Structure 1
Amino acid sequence: MLRTGEEYRESIRDGRKVYVNGEQVDDVTTHPMFKPIVDQRAMIFDMAHQESTQATMTYVDEKNGELNAIGNRLPRTQEDWSDKRRAVDLTLREAGGVVTRVGDETIGEMWSLFDGQDVLNEVDPRFSDNIRRHIERSITADTFHISANTDPKGDRSKAPQDQDPDMLLHVVRETDNGIVVRGAKYETAAAYANQAFTKPTIANWGNDKLSNYAVGFVANLSSPGLKFISRTGFAGRASAKDYPLSNRVDEVESLVIFDDVEIPWEDVLFYRHTRAAAFIRSTLHRYSAFPFVQRTQHLADLMIGAALWNVKQTGLEKQPAVQEKLAQLACYRENINAHLTASIAMAEKSPGGLLMPNQSLLYTGRVTALSQLPTMMHIARELCGGQICITPDAASFEHPDTKDWLDKYYNVNENWIADDRRKLLAFARDLLNSDYAGHRLTFQLFAQSPPFAQLGAIYRNFDFEGPLDLVRKAADLSDRVTGETNDAAKLATRV
């Protein structure tokens, strides 16, 4: 059933061992570095109940007539994707910033498992029921579901077993009840989520067919033996008046320690078979890349809005040089929008009977969005001007000795008074220049695998046969060459 925000808060008051900034956290729902983002996730749960937002955030289950969250619904039609897109847009608008690891983006990785049941059954048929049951539970139980991918890794030139074995998460033994795992994972939102689809990173297995490192499961984040060592959050480090995004939408990452944690057999999704693990890695983002790229579009909208308001308040919006830079930001935004829209307009049936975004268009959209992001942030900085890095803080605008001077020099006219200018400059600074902004940029670049892996996904999904056939005919190549190139194209498409 749909949970309320308070029910979610209560579900993570479970005595979990969370550490941040050199202290153990008693309650993540009230700690100043976690509370803002916990409140954002609680707000999303509550939006499913509020009359003004419920229709966008939920759908009616055809079997039992119950309301469920639209983000968790298995996508079978183009309308399903349109509904999801509207829900994400509404969520980000209500959040007043970009929130990523809030469930609807990470649940798509479970749908990739749903598609891969035939492949997984070929190597080990024990776990298909677990996959289907967990997907159903994510829909009906309305849990906060996240993703766990990255290990500490250690020396990447060595196989996992040739160094400290705990550098990559692995199975240390089996029990009657399940498997016992040891190691660590970096996970965004783990300290305040309910469960995580935990899976292997890209590992050096060599030619091994079986490996204790090739394991995937749903981890109950309340399990004994888990410890969460979180990075210092941005919230609470400075005034929310000066850093509104840092204090509202910072999503805290944790190094999650699995200290001999037992995973029940019913929560294991694949185990030991390196072929299964490699298959899952190769298809991991076939759905989840869509909301991830959509959130980058929202970030583009924030940059456009911040930049345009800044040039308008100083009367520069009619300058051709300014318009040119605004047009560059608009092209970037619409390029993302075009890839998202086209990937659904040309969507494909998945192996499991779902509707997946056109893979070539989706992955090229992701690379376009992320590879150009640093340049677009710099253009937005240029448009916002140097005042975003030199404007005094809110306390100075309020202090009786300095307020009159700052009012004098920050008032522009009757429409732009000092307080509004300060708010706009503070927002732009936090969006583009702050510690949070730098963190956000790096997160966007690497959150769905490093750039080389993203380009690898394009290589595996682009249809090379069309260009090969075009040049074969235009250059009048012989049949012998035609056969060789077609074989190469098929191989590239199949990998």
Structure 2
Amino acid sequence: MGIRTGAQYREGLRDGRTVYVNGDVVSDVTEYPAFKGIITTMAGLYDAQHDERYLDVLSYVSATTGERVSTTLMPARTAEEMNARLRCEYLRTDLTYGLMGRIPDFVNAFVLDSAESLAYMGKHEAAAKVREYLEFLRANDLATTHALIDPQSDRSKPDAPQEALQIVHETPEGITVRGARMLSTLAPVAEEIVVGPFVPRRPGEEKFALVFAIPANTPGLKIVCREPYDTGSGEFDQPLTSRFEEGDAILIFDDVFVPRDRVFVGGDLDAYNGLLPNFPGYTGLQSAVRGTAKLRFLTGLAGVVAQANGRTKSPRHQEEIGELVGYVGVAEGLLQGAALDCARQIQARERRQAGETLTPQPGEPLQDTPIGLSATMVFFPHVLARAVDVVPMVAGSGVIAMTEKDFNNPELTGLLERFMHGPDFPAERRLQVMRMAWDATGGQFGSRQALYERLYSGDPVGNRLRFFGMPKRSECEDLVLRLLTS
């Protein structure tokens, strides 16, 4: 089949999946009002693959089938191939303004990383299964998401909770699993669910060491959604919510059978615990690209808000927005570095496996620090939070705005146009901008986005502690010791 259209994606969602929203069972997610906006956005991404302007960026010709398939599933070995991936990631996140944290590109990158990681660890049977799954995704162009986190039954304990997803029965044909995983963003409107690791498992927890993939309509899988934020107010009052409300869900596996060819890791602690640490960087690159797109959007939003209320000439607000513009420059530079770093990591592994000893040459860093990972875990949580602070600071009380219906009330239209305009900014457009600023930073959608970015790659304190323990710190300290002893 190769790349699909938006209509084919919509039809694929009519698969009999079990979805719960506000206590009700949703029999057809394509007809549920709160999902229509995000489905339209996702369908637009599928249609973009067939746009002549984007065709060669968003797709490539598969050497296996001769069909055009998504570039988000393209393995890369060279800097040129990685740059092709970067262009695709940049365009797709630009089309969604960086506001979809779990656009399928992320999980596609996650699966590519998983294949490389398992092969690097010598888990060749598991790696072969993941590569077969990648071929399946390329051939069918399915929308993927994942579930990584154990239920929050008791976070005071380091052990896997008994409510966590686990193997309860095993046969030569496959495994039966029971338990729950969270927080599966996009699950209501995805077609494939990839279950992967997040925290390490301990000896004795082999039944919890699971990596597999199943269709969203697998019998026994219950997708229990959080409260939707799209209230049907429309694109004027909820310009972001109405388009990019991905939805989050807890996945309950009520004795779900997983065929053996879909079980990538089933009880192997070494493979499970080593999967994420040995990622070469596809996932980090995609995350950095998405973070950059969102930073560009928030920076632009702050600038347009300043135009709407006359603060473009205020040095105070120029300084705030200028800081964000500087961060955008850093972020876009990081993308080039992350792409090159990922290609270099893959090439270095292949050379090591071929028996080469890789020794840093004079003028080269002695220790690796994955650029995409650093950007995702340390840089973007900080700068995106800063951007979210700047937008309402520039907007002031203007974000507390009336609705489109108020403006269209014949008794108010003239008065609002008279009193609510900005400098060279009609009142209706100013109101539209302020509604967007509120949607991005203040309403349910914006509040969820802020929390999501803060915890996007896990506990921020834990992430910084992780970097404290990296060899790069010792390399930096050695500079000081070298000078002290010179």
Does TM-score exceed 0.5, indicating one fold?
yes
Structure 2 residue 204 is matched with structure 1 residue 194:
no
1:349 alignment partner, one of 345, 358, 372: 345
CA contact (8 A) 2:18 2:217 kept: no
Deviates more, 1:451-460 or 1:398-407: 451-460
Structure 2 residue 339 is matched with structure 1 residue 328:
no
CA contact (8 A) 2:194 2:213 kept: yes
Give CA deviations for 1:443-464 in whole Å, capped at 9, x if unaligned.
Answer: 1222322213433553465534
Structure 2 CA distance for aligned equivalents of residues 88 and 309 of structure 1 = 25
Aligned amino acid, residue 417 of structure 1: P
1:404 alignment partner, one of 406, 414, 425: 414
Aligned amino acid, residue 406 of structure 1: L
Runs of at least 5 residues in structure 1 that lack an aligned partner in the other structure: 478-495
Structure 2 CA distance for aligned equivalents of residues 259 and 443 of structure 1 = 27
2:135 alignment partner in structure 1: 136
CA contact (8 A) 1:363 1:458 kept: no
**Superposed displacement of residue 470, structure 1:** 2.1
Distance 1:78 1:460, change over 3 A: farther
2:13 alignment partner in structure 1: 12
Aligned amino acid, residue 392 of structure 2: R
Question: Superposition pairs for residues 3-402 of structure 1, below 5 Å?
Answer: 3-95=4-96, 98-118=99-119, 121=122, 126-158=125-157, 160=159, 165=162, 167-186=163-182, 187-203=184-200, 205=202, 207-208=203-204, 211-283=206-278, 286-347=281-342, 348-350=344-346, 353=350, 359-366=369-376, 367-389=378-400, 391-402=401-412
Aligned amino acid, residue 485 of structure 2: D
Aligned amino acid, residue 104 of structure 1: D
CA contact (8 A) 1:145 1:197 kept: yes
CA contact (8 A) 2:166 2:208 kept: yes
1:425 alignment partner in structure 2: 434
Aligned amino acid, residue 107 of structure 1: N
**Superposed displacement of residue 284, structure 1:** 5.2
Output the TM-score relative to the length of structure 2.
0.89
Output the TM-score relative to the length of structure 1.
0.87
Deviates more, 1:361-370 or 1:79-88: 79-88
Give CA deviations for 1:58-102 in whole Å, capped at 9, x if unaligned.
Answer: 112345532111111112222333333333333344345622322
Structure 1 CA distance for aligned equivalents of residues 252 and 109 of structure 2 = 24
1:476 alignment partner in structure 2: 485
CA contact (8 A) 1:285 1:448 kept: no
Aligned amino acid, residue 188 of structure 1: T
Identity %: 23
Deviates more, 1:459-468 or 1:359-368: 459-468
Structure 2 CA distance for aligned equivalents of residues 181 and 279 of structure 1 = 22
**Superposed displacement of residue 15, structure 1:** 1.1
**Superposed displacement of residue 372, structure 1:** 3.2
Aligned amino acid, residue 341 of structure 1: Q
CA-based RMSD of the aligned residues comes to 2.4
Structure 1 CA distance for aligned equivalents of residues 311 and 284 of structure 2 = 37
CA contact (8 A) 1:144 1:193 kept: yes
How many residues were matched structurally? 465
Give CA deviations for 1:296-349 in whole Å, capped at 9, x if unaligned.
Answer: 222222222122122223433122222211111112222222222222344423
